[in-house]
Amino acid sequence: MTEPVEYDVVVVGGGPAGENVADRVRATGLSAAVVESELVGGECSYWACMPSKALLRPVITRADARRVPGVRQSVQGPLDTEAVLTHRDEEASHWKDDGQVGWMDSIGARLYRGQGRLRGPKQVVVDGPEGEHHVLTARYAVAVATGSRAVLPDIPGLAGAKAWTSREATSAQRVPRRLAVVGGGVVGVEMATAWQALGSQITLLVRGGGLLPRMEPFVGEHVADALTEAGAQIRTHTSVASVERSDCSGPVTLVLDGGERIEADEVLFATGRAPRTEDLGLETVDLEPGSWLPVDDSCRVEGSNWLYAVGDVNHRALLTHQGKYQARIAGAAIAARARQVPLLETDRWGAHSATADRAAVPQVVFTDPEAAAVGLSHAEAEAAGLRVRAVDYDIASVAGAGLYGDGYRGRARMVVDLDREILLGVTFVGPGVGELLHSATVAVAGEVPIDRLWHAVPAYPTISEVWLRLLETYRG
């Protein structure tokens, strides 16, 4: 048996959240080991954020240009598919992690490649790709940052049909002539937008009544209109009963609940995520394999004094930027506890307490038009029993929208807490609105009173002037 190697902190998972835990604890002088079974940099770098946005950026750029007189005639042709896919490959570092490994070395963290599993409190065993076996012991903490994986529903025929998940959708090397997309959430609508623009005929099958159901209803309506105008077919209130595919290189047939059959060259199931904890050794510390890991606000697993969980795996907010935020919190808390300093004595800026992953979570959906939201929707606020008012404004009526060209369509909403006169949530949909989101996040996270927001003067002529119009509408 290999002799145990001791570190102050052992991080299982080398994606963005795990990297940030290691970075924070190393900055305080603690030693750290990181265990990664795939590529250092994780899902975001190779199969999610970076490749998906690389696919979508040309789509959105062309759409923006087509609205502007003097430019639109120059961009009427198809996208250069080969160039788009080549750039996507570059943004995904050609699925090699040399750069990320170099960064890990630069901060002084030790990388172990292989499958990491807990073996009781503060101990992690690592089985390497070439039969190596390591036993790592943590003096202070083990941080789990293994992320989440795509879930395929239990549908007859699906297991052998070679269906796409988000990974295949962001890394495919050819454009399918017909692509069926099952699911109307973020992954579904972003990939429908990208592959439709690259030449696929998209059929989008949605179980519910609309797209992006976790955002304000008007967001999904705007995105659905744009996808339909681009040539996609959207079928709501539609469920897939079974999948048929006899040859993995041939077409796939989706059989719907009513018996209707839809044929495509590929099918993407974007129907949810599950935690990557099924092979983590959780049973050795009295936790359930395959479960989400509930944590307190320092990201320490409930009932433990040494185990932390950051990123998707704790199920608080499944977004890369939120996972990195949680990792910064956890790293600071681990370091403070290692020094046996009460957290409240060193928590000058709330550095040891994650709160922004609940009430002020920002998200941008990179469709055309873009969608951006932070905080609660109107329906969520009402469901929470709060006395609220939704204030809407047509972004096309703002002078700056005209500079985006002809036919700007967009809408903004702020949800006002009428008792405290602060913003609980803000939502935008329209070209360019992603860049409005941080101002909204500051207003929501900071609980800025509306009478102070009135004195935050937006520049003219920009679409950020919608802030002034929302406040004027609220004040009447």
Residues 328 and 202 in one domain: no
Name the residue range of residue 401's domain: 369-475
Beta carbons within 8 Å of 413's beta carbon, 6+ residues apart: 216, 218, 378, 390, 391, 392, 393, 425, 426, 427, 428
Q: What is the pTM of this model?
A: 0.94
By CB atoms closer than 10 A (0-12, 13-18, 19+), residue 386 is middle
Q: Which residue from 350, 435, 428 is spatially nearest to 392, judged by alpha carbons?
A: 428
Give the DSSP H or E segment for 150: strand 148-150
Output the domain CATH number for residue 212.
Answer: 3.50.50.60
By CB atoms closer than 10 A (0-12, 13-18, 19+), residue 443 is buried
Report yes or no on 23 lying in a domain.
yes
Residues 15 and 115 in one domain: yes
Report the C-alpha gap between 250 and 139 in whole angstroms.
54
Q: Is residue 468 over pLDDT 90?
A: yes
Which of 48-52, 337-341, 359-363 has the least mean pLDDT? 337-341
Residues 382 and 466 in one domain: yes
Residues 283 and 251 in one domain: no
Q: What does 333-373 look like in DSSP terms, one character per residue? A: HHHHHHTT--HHHH-TTSTT---TTTS--EEEE-SSS-EEE
Residues 255 and 285 in one domain: no
pLDDT grade for 247, boundaries at 50, 70 and 90: confident
| CB-CB contact of 67 with 408 (8 Å) | yes
**Which is it for strands 32-36 and 5-12: parallel, antiparallel or unpaired?**
parallel
Among 271, 302, 332, where does a domain finish?
A: 271
446: left (phi over 0), alpha (psi -120 to 50) or beta: alpha
- pLDDT of the residue at 340: 82
- pLDDT of the residue at 200: 98
Residues 238 and 170 in one domain: yes
Residues 145 and 171 in one domain: no
Report the C-alpha gap between 106 and 32 in whole angstroms.
13
Report yes or no on 63 lying in a domain.
no
Higher pLDDT, 356 or 82: 82
Report yes or no on 86 lying in a domain.
no
Q: What is the mean pLDDT of residues 457-466?
A: 96
Map tokens 């198809």 to a residue: 78
Q: Give the number of domains in the chain.
A: 3
Q: Is residue 394 over pLDDT 70?
A: yes
pLDDT grade for 347, boundaries at 50, 70 and 90: low
DSSP state of 457: P
Q: What is the mean pLDDT of the chain?
A: 95
Residues 103 and 120 in one domain: yes
- pLDDT of the residue at 344: 56
State pLDDT tens for residues 146-187. 999 999 999 999 999 999 999 999 999 999 999 999 999 999
Among 241, 271, 301, where does a domain finish?
A: 271
- pLDDT of the residue at 358: 78
- pLDDT of the residue at 350: 56
Residues 308 and 431 in one domain: no
Helix, strand, coil shares of the chain, percent, nearest 5, are: 35, 25, 40
Report the C-alpha gap between 64 and 59 in whole angstroms.
9
Token readout for 77 is: 């042709």
Q: What is the mean pLDDT of residues 364-383?
A: 97
Residues 12 and 144 in one domain: yes
Report yes or no on 159 lying in a domain.
no
Report yes or no on 353 lying in a domain.
no
- What are residue 430's phi and psi, to 5 degrees? 150, 165
Output the domain CATH number for residue 442.
Answer: 3.30.390.30
Report yes or no on 54 lying in a domain.
no
Report yes or no on 326 lying in a domain.
yes
Q: Is residue 2 over pLDDT 80?
A: no
Among 271, 301, 316, where does a domain finish?
A: 271
Q: Which residue from 340, 364, 379, 334 is spatially nearest to 352, judged by alpha carbons?
A: 334
DSSP state of 174: S
Residues 379 and 455 in one domain: yes
